[in-house]
C-alpha cells in the first residue's frame, strides 16, 4: 500500500511530540533521503525524510545510516538554515500527502528567521523542499524541477513556491451524511473506485476496507448491482471517525493477492496473520526500510555487477584460448620436423604443390608423413614458415603458462568481488568501487576533488559472540585487508572458508571457547559463496600465520598451521548475534 493521506495524518500526529525539539545534526545518506537528528524533552531521536520515488515516507527511525564522505550540496544548505534550529510546527496540508515542518533558527548575526521544510510524498514526483517562510521563495529542493520538465511548477532556488495541483476532492473528515449520499447516488463508478476518486487521502486499500465493512463480498462490488450508499456511509464514517479522533491501529499483513500491505486503520478484510505495532513510525520502518535498502543496493550495484560479470566472461574466454594455444605450443616439435624434412627434400618438391609426402627420418619405423604446403610459396619458403611457427610456439610456452596463472587469478578475483556484492551494504559498494578504481579497472569519474587520506578506515562490521567476544567480518577486500593486516593482533584467530571465495573473519581475543569459534565459523560460511550449502569447510589459524604475498591483489593472503572445521550456516542464529556497523565516514 502506498502511503496515503490517512497514514500521513497519523504520522503528523505522532510527530507532534517533536515540536519544540532542537535539530542537532542533519545528514543526507543518499541522494533522496534526509535524516534530522533532534533533541526532544524525552531524549535524542531521528526523523527520516525520504523523497524516494518508490518508497517516499516520513517517520521516526532507529536505523543506522552510513553517510557519504562529503555532504551533498542540499545537505549543506539544510545545515546552514536548519541546524541548531527549533521545530516550531509540523502540519499536514488538508488530507494530502504533504507535510510542512517549520523551523526557527538564529543566524550568525543573531537574527531570528523561519524556514519551512516541505516534504511531498507523491511517488515519483516526491520532493523535499526548503522554503524561506517569510518570502515564500524556494531556497533549494532535493530534486530540481526545471521549466523544461514542468511549466506549471518549477522547483529551483529563488523561485516562488507553488503547491502541487489541486485534485478537487472532498475532505473525508468534513463531509456529512447527506452530501456523502448525494455523491454516492450521482456516481456511476463502483464503490471502491468512487471512494478513491471522490475523497482526498483515501487509498485503494482504505477504500477496499470500507467496501468490505459495508458488507460487499469479494467481487460483488463489480456485479453491477445498485450501490448500498447507507452501508457505505456507515463503514466510511467509522473509519473517518477514528482518523478524526487520532485513533490509529498500525498494522501490516498479506492481502488476498499475496502482497504485503500496511495501514493505520484496522484491516478486517485480511484473513491471514497480521502484525501490530506500537507506533506508526515502527510500522513504516518495518515495512519500508528493508525494501528501500534492497532497492537502493540493487540500483547501485547493477553497473558493478554487469562490469564484473563481463570481466569474468572475458577472462573465461581468454582461458579457453590460452588452453588451445598451449595444446598447439606443445606440438611445436612437429613444425620443426616439417621444416627440416622439407629442407632435406627441396629437390623433390615443386612450387604449386599442396602437400608433400616424405619419409620421416625422425620416426624409428621410418614411416611416410604428409606435410601440408602453401602452393603460393616456394618449397624453401614453406620450410621457413614451419620453422617460424616452431620458434613462435617454443617461445610462447613460458608466456602462456604465465598468462594462464594471471587469468586464473583474475577469475578468482572477480568471483571474490561478485560474492562480496551479494552481501554488500551501500557503503560496502562504495568501497568495492574505490578498490576497482585503485586497481585500474574503473575510471575515477567525478571524484577529482576528493582527497583520500592514507589513514582512512573502511566500514567495520563487528559481531559479538554468545561469550561476549568481538568478531570482525570483512565484507569487501578493503575491509578484509584492514581487519587482517592492521586491526588484528598476532594471537587473534583468523577464519576463512577453505578454497571458497568469502569474507575474512577475525576473533579479537586469544582466550575464547568453542561456542565463539563455532559462531565465527558460521559467519565465515554465511558470508561466502557457500552460504546455501551444508558442512562448509572453514579454515582457522592465528593471525601470525597469515600473510599477504608481495604484489598480490587486495584481500589475497596465504596461511599455514591451519585447522579445518565444518559448519552449516544458520541465518537465524547469525541475525540474533548483536552486531554494530562502525562507519568511519562523517
The per-residue pLDDT for 454 is 47
Please name which of 269, 266, 268, 270 lies closest in space to residue 249, comparing C-alpha atoms.
Answer: 266
Could you read off the pLDDT of 521-545 as tens digits, one per residue?
Answer: 999 999 998 988 999 999 999 999 9
Please name which of 531, 317, 330, 535 lies closest in space to residue 410, comparing C-alpha atoms.
Answer: 317
Q: Which three cell numbers stand for residue 379?
A: 618449397
Could you read off the pLDDT of 360-370 as tens digits, one per residue?
Answer: 888 777 688 88
Q: Which three cell numbers stand for residue 36?
A: 534530522
The 3-state DSSP class for residue 275 equals strand
The per-residue pLDDT for 226 is 64
Task: Cite the residue boundaries of each domain of the chain with CATH code 2.30.310.10.
Answer: 5-141
> What's the residue count for the chain?
586
Residue 501's alpha-carbon distances to 131, 420, 527, in angstroms, are 51, 9, 9
The per-residue pLDDT for 401 is 83
- What topology is assigned to 5-141 in CATH? ibrinogen binding protein from staphylococcus aureus fold (2.30.310)
The dihedrals phi and psi of 191, each to the nearest 5 degrees, come to: -55, -50
Give the global pTM.
Answer: 0.66
Sign, CA torsion 24/120/72/31? positive
Residue 300's alpha-carbon distances to 74, 306, 450, 581, in angstroms, are 20, 11, 20, 20
The per-residue pLDDT for 100 is 97
The per-residue pLDDT for 400 is 85
CA-CA distance, 382 to 374, in Å (whole number)? 7
179 alpha-carbon distance from chain centroid = 49
CA-CA distance, 187 to 91, in Å (whole number)? 32
Output the 3-class SS for 167-193: CCCECCCCCCHHHHHHHHHHCCCCHHH
The per-residue pLDDT for 363 is 78
Show the CA angle centred on residue 409, arms to residues 520 and 332, nearest 5°: 150
Give the CA dihedral 501, 504, 505, 508, nearest 10 degrees.
170
Sign, CA torsion 280/283/289/292? negative
Q: CB count, 10 Å around CB of 338? A: 24
Which residue ranges of the chain lie beneath pLDDT 70? 1-2, 217-226, 366, 445-456, 583-586
Amino acid at each position: 500500500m502506498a502511503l496515503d493521506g490517512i497514514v500521513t495524518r497519523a504520522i503528523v500526529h505522532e510527530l507532534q511530540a517533536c515540536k519544540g525539539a532542537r535539530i542537532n545534526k542533519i545528514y543526507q545518506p543518499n541522494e533522496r533521503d534526509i535524516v534530522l537528528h533532534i533533541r526532544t524533552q524525552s531524549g535524542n531521536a531521528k526523523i527520516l525524510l525520504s523523497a524516494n520515488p518508490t518508497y517516499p515516507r516520513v517517520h521516526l527511525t532507529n536505523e543506522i545510516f552510513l553517510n557519504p564522505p562529503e555532504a551533498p550540496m542540499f545537505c549543506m544548505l539544510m545545515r546552514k538554515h536548519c541546524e541548531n534550529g527549533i521545530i516550531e510546527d509540523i502540519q499536514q496540508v488538508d488530507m494530502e500527502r504533504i507535510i510542512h515542518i517549520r523551523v526557527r533558527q538564529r543566524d550568525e548575526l543573531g537574527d531570528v528567521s523561519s524556514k519551512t521544510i516541505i516534504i511531498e510524498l507523491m511517488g515519483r514526483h516526491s520532493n523535499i523542499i526548503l522554503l524561506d517562510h517569510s518570502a515564500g521563495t524556494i531556497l533549494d529542493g532535493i530534486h530540481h524541477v526545471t521549466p523544461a520538465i514542468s511549466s506549471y511548477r518549477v522547483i529551483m532556488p529563488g523561485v516562488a513556491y507553488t503547491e502541487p495541483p489541486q485534485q478537487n476532492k472532498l475532505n473525508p473528515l468534513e463531509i456529512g451524511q447527506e452530501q456523502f449520499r448525494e455523491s454516492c447516488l450521482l456516481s456511476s463508478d463502483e464503490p471502491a473506485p468512487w471512494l478513491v476518486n471522490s475523497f482526498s487521502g483515501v487509498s485503494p486499500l482504505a477504500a477496499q476496507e470500507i467496501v468490505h465493512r459495508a458488507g460487499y463480498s469479494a467481487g460483488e462490488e463489480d456485479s453491477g448491482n445498485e450501490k448500498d450508499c447507507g452501508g457505505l456511509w456507515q463503514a466510511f464514517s467509522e473509519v473517518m471517525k477514528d482518523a478524526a479522533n487520532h485513533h490509529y491501529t498500525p498494522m501490516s499483513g498479506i492481502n488476498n493477492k499475496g502482497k504485503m500491505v500496511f495501514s493505520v486503520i484496522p484491516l478486517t478484510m485480511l484473513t491471514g496473520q497480521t502484525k501490530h505495532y506500537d507506533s506508526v513510525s515502527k510500522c513504516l520502518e518495518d515495512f519500508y526500510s528493508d525494501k528501500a535498502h534492497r532497492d537502493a543496493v540493487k540500483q547501485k550495484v547493477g553497473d558493478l555487477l554487469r562490469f564484473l560479470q563481463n570481466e569474468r566472461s572475458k577472462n573465461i574466454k581468454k582461458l579457453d584460448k590460452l588452453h588451445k594455444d598451449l595444446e598447439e605450443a606443445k606440438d611445436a616439435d612437429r613444425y620443426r620436423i616439417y621444416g627440416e624434412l622439407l629442407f632435406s627434400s627441396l629437390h623433390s618438391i615443386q612450387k604449386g604443390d599442396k602437400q608433400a609426402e616424405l619419409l620421416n627420418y625422425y620416426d624409428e619405423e621410418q614411416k611416410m608423413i604428409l606435410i601440408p604446403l602453401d602452393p603460393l610459396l616456394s618449397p624453401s619458403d614453406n620450410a621457413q614458415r614451419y620453422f617460424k611457427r616452431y620458434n613462435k610456439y617454443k617461445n610462447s610456452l613460458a608466456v602462456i603458462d604465465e598468462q594462464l596463472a594471471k587469468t586464473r587469478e583474475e577469475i578468482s578475483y572477480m568471483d571474490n568481488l561478485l560474492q562480496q556484492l551479494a552481501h554488500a551494504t551501500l557503503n560496502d559498494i562504495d568501497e568495492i568501487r574505490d578498490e576497482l578504481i585503485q586497481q585500474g579497472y574503473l575510471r575515477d569519474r567525478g571524484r577529482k576533488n576528493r582527497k583520500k587520506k592514507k589513514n582512512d578506515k573502511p566500514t567495520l562490521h563487528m559481531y559479538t559472540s554468545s561469550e561476549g567476544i568481538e568478531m570482525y567480518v570483512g565484507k569487501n577486500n578493503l575491509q578484509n585487508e584492514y581487519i587482517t593486516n592492521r586491526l588484528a593482533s598476532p594471537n587473534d584467530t583468523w577464519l576463512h572458508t577453505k578454497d571458497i571465495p568469502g569474507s575474512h573473519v577475525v576473533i579479537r581475543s586469544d582466550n575464547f571457547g568453542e561456542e565463539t569459534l563455532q559462531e565465527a565459523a558460521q559467519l565465515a560460511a554465511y558470508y561466502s559463496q557457500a552460504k546455501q550449502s551444508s558442512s562448509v569447510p572453514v579454515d582457522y589459524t592465528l593471525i601470525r600465520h597469515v600473510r599477504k604475498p608481495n604484489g598480490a591483489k587486495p584481500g589475497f593472503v596465504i596461511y599455514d598451521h591451519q585447522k579445518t572445521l565444518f559448519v552449516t550456516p544458520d541465518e537465524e542464529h547469525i541475525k540474533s548475534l548483536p552486531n554494530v556497523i562502525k562507519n568511519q565516514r562523517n
